[in-house]
Amino acid sequence: MKLSRILSNQNGVSRKRANALIATGRVAVNGQVCRDSQNEVSEFCAVGVDGKAIQQARPSRYLMLNKPAGYLSATVDDTHPTVFRLIDSSLHDGLHIGGRLDRASTGLLILTNDGNWSRRLTEPKIKIPKVYRVTTEQPITLETHQRFAEGIWFEYEQLTTSPAQIEEIHEREARITIYEGRYHQVKRMFHAVGNRVTSLHRERMGKIQLNDELPPGQYRSLTAEEIASV
């Protein structure tokens, strides 16, 4: 939100008055005078006028969870346990999931209260690579490699997926790198070539790699370097 709008909303002044306060150096963002009324200020920033706080800095949270099977990527559900049961309740406020996994799938799940950050992580147009380890019902054929490299047509979205890479581990096991993260994308791509995914485990999103030593059901805060990588 622009700084002038925050002053108007929180301080009860007109936009013209807000601009004047900013221009005369009476407004500080995170303790530093800001004279740019168009400066974008997030809810994680402290804003003050003449030394009086009008917006308290909200603590930002960025968590990595090693999701076990059987948990929904949802806030609440009447039937199944959700991943929020695995997160301390004191951290729940404003938390949402950046890139869901279905109930049977496992691995890297990101939870944050920073909507702008999570949109950059998951927006298909940005094409951050997502790496999954998959096991399939049938052997992975040369045709599958070729079709994935060309992109798979999704009728519902009326689009062709970005080229994906397959790194075979065994004849029915591989690492798949995709660049969009659409709804059930990996499973739908294999379905399109006549195969079925029997297990799916997300290992990486961009430069954020799931820790091998992080047990299923456990989580940790992302490092400053991981946060900055998005």
Structure tokens at 133: 């380890």
3-class secondary-structure state, position 89: helix
Strands 197-205 and 106-112: parallel
The verdict on whether 88 is a catalytic residue reads no
- Spatial CA neighbour of 229 closest among 208, 203, 204, 202: 208
The amino acid present at 112, given as its one-letter code, is T
Helix residue spans in 12-80 (DSSP H): 15-23
- Taking Cα atoms as reference points, which of 80, 125, 129, 72 lies closest to residue 102? 72
Residue with tokens 């999570």: 118
Contact in structure between 82 and 73 (CB atoms under 8 Å):
yes
Choice among 50, 102, 114, 212 that is catalytic: 102
Q: What are the catalytic residues?
A: 102
